[in-house]
């Protein structure tokens, strides 16, 4: 049997991701001070802190309502674009996963793909525009390619992790089209996008959690 992430286990992953985001505060803030308004880490970290503060409540929920609650919580706790974008992503995923009990190799893909589409729609942005989208997009490309090639679940999930990092790294040479980095004369070229960095942290934690605990 392959991996199956229950709502309770998803919350365990959220706690780990929150800790990793917390550890990267100085780095992400310094990056965002160069290309944005410097608040991205504070925004996202406060969202994860809020989620962790209600973790016992989240753990008791079914998958779809839990994702909805996470989305609503992030939307209200995070100021700035990322609150609305992550919130929209989780709310759309909650709808797409109605009736699913766990995240497995197929429903996790559906979850992330739905999140990506919702963020692109809400942000009116595309891959290649130097945003959080780039980490998620490349992670999903790698996920799909490995899955279609018939690789085992461990390899699929490890491919997703590598894809996320590649997407993050590619933002260094991208010109920002949306968001605050687009207001800069050099469009942020030469620096990683902070939102791509924090999206990548979450995807890496998710991959590590699945590989360490379930595969």
- Give yes or no for residue 47 binding Mg ion (CB under 5 A): no
CA neighbours closer than 13 Å in the CB half-sphere of residue 101: 2
Query: Which residues face 5 on adjacent strands?
Result: 103
Among 22, 37, 106, 121, binds Mg ion (CB under 5 A): 37
Enumerate residues 115-134 that contact ligand ADP by CB under 6 A. Answer: 119, 123, 125, 131-133
CB of 106 to ligand ADP, least distance (A): 26
Q: Which stretch binds ligand ADP (CB under 6 A): 50-58, 105-113, 137-145, 191-199?
A: 191-199
Q: Which residue, 80 or 83, has its beta carbon nearer to Mg ion?
A: 80
Distance (Å, whole) CA 170 – CA 133:
11
Q: How many residues bind ligand ADP (CB under 6 A)?
A: 22
Angle at 213 between CA 207 and CA 215, to 5 degrees: 75
CB of 215 to ligand ADP, least distance (A): 30
Query: Which residues face 103 on adjacent strands?
Result: 5
- Please give the DSSP secondary-structure letter assigned to residue 187: T
Enumerate residues 79-138 that contact Mg ion by CB under 5 A. Answer: 80
CB of 9 to ligand ADP, least distance (A): 27
- Give yes or no for residue 173 binding Mg ion (CB under 5 A): no
**Among Mg ion, ligand ADP, none, residue 97 binds (CB under 5-8 Å by kind):** none
Q: Specify the long-range contacts of residues 105-112, CB closer than 8 Å, at least 24 apart.
A: 105/2, 105/3, 105/147, 105/153, 105/156, 108/5, 109/140, 109/143, 109/144, 109/147, 111/67, 112/136, 112/139, 112/140, 112/143
Q: Which residue, 107 or 135, has its beta carbon nearer to ligand ADP?
A: 135
Enumerate residues 59-88 that contact ligand ADP by CB under 6 A. Answer: 80-82, 85
Q: Which residue, 29 or 214, has its beta carbon nearer to Mg ion?
A: 29
Which residue is closest to ligand ADP by CB?
195
Residues 6+ apart with CB under 8 A from 153: 2, 3, 105, 215
The per-residue DSSP string of 45-80 comes to HHHHHHHHHTHHHHHTS-HHHHHHHHHHHHHHH--H
Among 195, 204, 205, 210, binds ligand ADP (CB under 6 A): 195
In the complex, the residues that contact ligand ADP under the rule CB under 6 A are: 36-37, 39-40, 43, 80-82, 85, 119, 123, 125, 131-133, 178-180, 193-196
């Amino acid at each position: 049997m392959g991996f199956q992430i229950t709502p309770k286990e998803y919350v365990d992953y959220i706690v780990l991701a929150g800790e990793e985001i917390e550890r990267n505060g100085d780095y992400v803030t310094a990056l965002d001070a160069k290309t944005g308004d410097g608040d991205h880490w504070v925004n996202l970290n406060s969202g994860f802190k809020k989620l962790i503060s209600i973790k016992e409540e989240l753990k008791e929920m079914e998958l779809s309502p839990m994702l909805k609650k996470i989305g609503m919580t992030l939307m209200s706790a995070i100021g700035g674009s990322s609150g609305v974008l992550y919130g929209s992503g989780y709310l759309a995923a909650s709808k797409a996963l109605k009736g699913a009990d766990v995240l497995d190799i197929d429903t996790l893909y559906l979850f992330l793909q739905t999140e990506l589409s919702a963020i692109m729609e809400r942000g009116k942005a595309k891959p290649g525009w130097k945003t959080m989208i780039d980490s998620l997009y490349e992670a999903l490309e790698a996920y799909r390619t490995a899955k279609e090639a018939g690789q085992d679940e461990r390899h699929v999930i490890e491919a997703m992790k590598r894809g996320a990092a590649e997407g993050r790294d590619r933002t260094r040479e991208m010109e920002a089209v949306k968001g605050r980095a687009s207001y800069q004369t050099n469009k942020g070229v030469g620096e990683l996008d902070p939102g791509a960095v924090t999206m990548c942290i979450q995807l890496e934690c998710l991959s590590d959690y699945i590989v360490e605990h379930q595969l």
